[in-house]
Structure 1
Amino acid sequence: MAKKITILNGPNLNLLGNREGDIYGTVGLAEIEAACLDECARFDFELAFFQTNSEGELVTQIQEAGANGDGLIINPAAYSHTSVALHDAIRAINIPTIEVHLSNIYARETFRHHSYISPVATGTICGLGPTGYILAIGALATQIPE
């Protein structure tokens, strides 16, 4: 039976491809989702892919992934730096979780250097653009128990 992974995307990521291309690149979220579907097929993963600008909806989706899934990839975007709620939700679930950021948050403004998600994530990938999602899928393949 295929393992189920969830990829969650936080605020403003629906604007990818149109927003600050020098920071986030020119690839849209639909293109990232298509690449993730292709990569998931390599590992026989079933994929649920979501984007929301709502912190509460992200919490609900994290809980859903923990209850019904095998792994989580999250790009919490700006909520990385502000959300204790996301931290607590990830801490409460018992599945491998990879944090992804398109940009290198450590090469940007000082307030972006702290993530509330990193301490409760299995691992963090940042600064590699859309490739970070692909690497996160491969990482989950090594983290999800058989």
Structure 2
Amino acid sequence: MKRSAKNPNWTKWVVTDRIVTYASPVYVSERVGIKPKELHIFYQDTGKAMRMFGVALTEMSTLIIVAVDELHGAAGAYDPVDNTVKYIWDRDNVLPEERLGVIIHEMWHRRQAYDAVREGWTITHENKSAYIAWLAEKCRKRMERLGVTDAE
């Protein structure tokens, strides 16, 4: 399921098939023709990025591979409410290093949610805006500590 950035109450269902050969849930949109080896690379790279950020593999997100138009212009999206990450499958237009950059970016969001839960948060649809505001303030303070300021 996706939510529109302009209207978070709007949802669109993505019809998927569950791939049962993985320890954690992996789904592929019925509109995506991805080879098993290519799917395995997504799964492995997601695990590597999680380890890179210190998140245990037992906390693996649900992976959903979707068609380009099923993610509204983004290459990936992480949802902290249900610990789900969606990646687009676009062999013709996304280079492997770009794909890896997207995986690392989304797993950074996973790390942020992991830290929030460890600090006592239970992230829900009802408090997701409060979580984002809390996270933005936490990041702003970190940027200040690092000496990063608004520059023109």
TM-score, structure 2 as length reference: 0.35
| Structure (1 or 2) with the larger CA radius of gyration | 2
Identify the structure with bigger relative contact order (alpha carbons < 8 Å, sequence gap 6+). 1
| Higher helix residue share | 1
